[in-house]
Amino acid sequence: MSNTTPTNNDEIDLLSLLETIWDGKWTIVSIMVVFLLSVFGFNIVKPNKNFTARTEIKPITSFEFDKYRLFNSSLKVIEKENKDKDKDKDKDKDKDKDKDFNIFEITEKSLLKLYIEKIEEGTLLEKAIYKLNLLDKDNFNSDDEYREAVEKFASEIKVSKPSSKNTGEKSLYHTFTAEYNNKEKWKTFLYFVTDEANKSVKNTITNRFETIIAVQQQKNDFAIKDLDIEINNLIKDYDIITNNKIAFLSEQAAIARKLNIEDNTISSQQFNSQNTILTNVKTDTPFYLRGYKAIEEEINQIKNRKDKIPFIDDLHDLKKEKRNFEQDKTLKRAVSLFKKTPLNNNAFRATIVKVGATKFKTKNKMNLVYALALVLGGFIGVIYVLISKAFKNRLNDTVNP
């Protein structure tokens, strides 16, 4: 019986494989070079143009803000005038509250905030994408698909706060960040968006101011009308009260004449109390006891009054209040000062956006692509060498059985 161990032809000889790979190393290197040159050539013919654009959005300078200081300073004057009016109006606190003018202060932060709101809202960005054809409509199968692509692209345009978390780059200002593939077209897009955003901010502030002024003016007009009604009511009430009083006095005078009471006959008692004279006057006696002379004279004086204003209680205060409303120049001053701000000229800008200073960072991943090309070329080269060696061995076995 033979002790020879049978050879297992299915076992893999690693040393033999390594030797085969080593022998075919130049073939493998050649294939790797072919893959590398192919990728390199493709990149030359059709280079990667995608980039990340970052544009800083800065608040207006202190020099530009100085142009708003005169208007903002008027707010303190308005507040002072309101406090002075409040001192004269203690009886109606609700009306005092309505007298507070809701005129807002314009600051660098408020302008920047409005500008960013206009950008982040998205409508302005979509309008610019459509107008400037940032996405070629011919590349889409339908209008709906094109519209969805525009909305998606607009949503990917970000306004980042001063932070280095998102971009990896430190910035003291807000940044306008997006990805695109055409620098000149992107700059045109930024110019358009900035101009439109400034116009929108300008219109928003102007409309808000005009609305506040209109509302306050309407309140003032209503207040004046209400005061007119109160004044007329007081005058009517005075006439009614006076007529009633004359009727009463006429009746009392007639009674006094009937009783022939000419002068005041209201009894009084006098008595001495050491060094003091005390008088006890009865005041609950009938009015006609005053005598018809005094009563008829009072009637005559009332009827002959040329100016009844001094005899109407609270009328002076109401007229004074109405005069304050009519002579109030607060709103006119605010409008005049508002017209002197940059919001009333074409040079207005809510922020400083220097499109020319936009930083473009190419999204070049070719190093990774080249590395993958080398790895893939090496792998295919190894497979080719091993298969080629296997075919040669089989051919040799067939020729030399």
Q: Which of 216, 211, 214, 224 is nearest to 98 (CA)?
A: 216
Q: For the beta carbon of residue 34, count every other beta carbon within 10 angstroms.
A: 13
Predicted local confidence at residue 327, as pLDDT: 92
> With contact defined as beta carbons under 8 Å apart, do 384 and 31 qualify?
yes
Question: pTM for the full model?
Answer: 0.65
Q: What is the pLDDT of residue 99?
A: 43
Contact 216, 102 (CB under 8 A): yes
Contacts of 127 (CB under 8 A, 6+ apart): 196
DSSP string, 263-277: S----EEEEEETTEE
Confidence at residue 346, expressed as pLDDT on a 0 to 100 scale: 83
pLDDT for 86: 52
The H or E element spanning position 160 is strand 158-160
pLDDT score at 5:
47
Closest residue by Cα to residue 52 from 239, 231, 177, 193: 177
With a cut of 50, which residues of the chain have pLDDT below it? 1-2, 4-10, 77-81, 90-102, 166-167, 268-281
Indicate the domain borders of the chain: 14-48+367-401
